[in-house]
Amino acid sequence: MEIKKVGVVGCGVMGSGIAQLCAQSGYQVVVSEINDELLNKGLASIEKILARSVEKGRISQQDKDATLGHIKGTTNTKDFSDCDIIIEVAIENMDLKKRIFAELDEICSKDAILATNSSVLSIIDMAVSTKRPDKVLGLHFFNPAPIMKLLEIVRTIATSDETIEVCQEFGKSVGKTSVIAPDKPGFIVNRIWIPYMLHAISLLEDGIASKEDIDAAVTAGLNYPMGPLTLVDLTGLDVLLFVANAMYEQLKDPRYIAPTLLKKMVTAGWLGRKTGKGFYEYK
């Protein structure tokens, strides 16, 4: 099977990033949102990011125009009918995702692959909402999707070898390093990343070290490009809390219990860069 046209359900931060990535890689892309306001906001974000790349000399104006020309925005799910692969990037709500997959199953051709960008939810639960569980899998991109090199290809017990092979080629075509992950909570990266982040927050909460020293110790001592508290401000404290809670609920492993400090900061609305305040303050 050859992928020529890509559908993306959701045009938020991740959805717009995946749509941009696929369009820059030469694919025709259809990206959807639930209303025109959110759709226009997502498309404007893509245009703004590409314009900045032109200003910095990373791409040409011609490249920008070509990328935007490959993207079609829609609020009508039926526009996915001729897509070869559709990547769902809705919020992490299982009932919503099941409804989306059931609807796509009715609309799309029988050969189309249906994928989810979920970072923690059970993919087989989504697959059984369709009549094609062998063509359902996870394609977990990392934020920002056009830049981060990893793609977790998440295989369920029902995903076919052919589907995996097609998606490995697709990952290669958009410049990603792909790894095969099992359909288990957190896949590979979050199994490693979540305890690391939670432990860093616990060190701060317990007064072991300041936030600046924790971040400096990791960047200078482990050669990581970013300290854990700076990183969680970038990704969002609410995202970390949601994923940690979801993983603890499924695994009952104490490594995934969120520190009280994280819970209180999320309650206060201190979610990181997107709200202007997290572990650090941002203008």
List active site positions.
119, 140, 152, 190
Length reported for the chain: 283
Gap between the Cα atoms of 232 and 229, Å rounded: 5
Gap between the Cα atoms of 208 and 213, Å rounded: 10
Gap between the Cα atoms of 26 and 47, Å rounded: 16
Helix (H/G/I), strand (E/B), else coil: 144: coil
Closest residue by Cα to residue 159 from 196, 223, 115, 213: 115
DSSP notation for 213-279: HHHHHHHHHS--SS-HHHHHHHH-HHHHHHHHHHHHHHH--GGGPPPHHHHHHHHTT--BGGGTBSS
Gap between the Cα atoms of 197 and 211, Å rounded: 12
Return the structure tokens found at 58. 């990373």
If one counts every other C-beta atom within 10 angstroms of the C-beta of residue 36, the result is 11
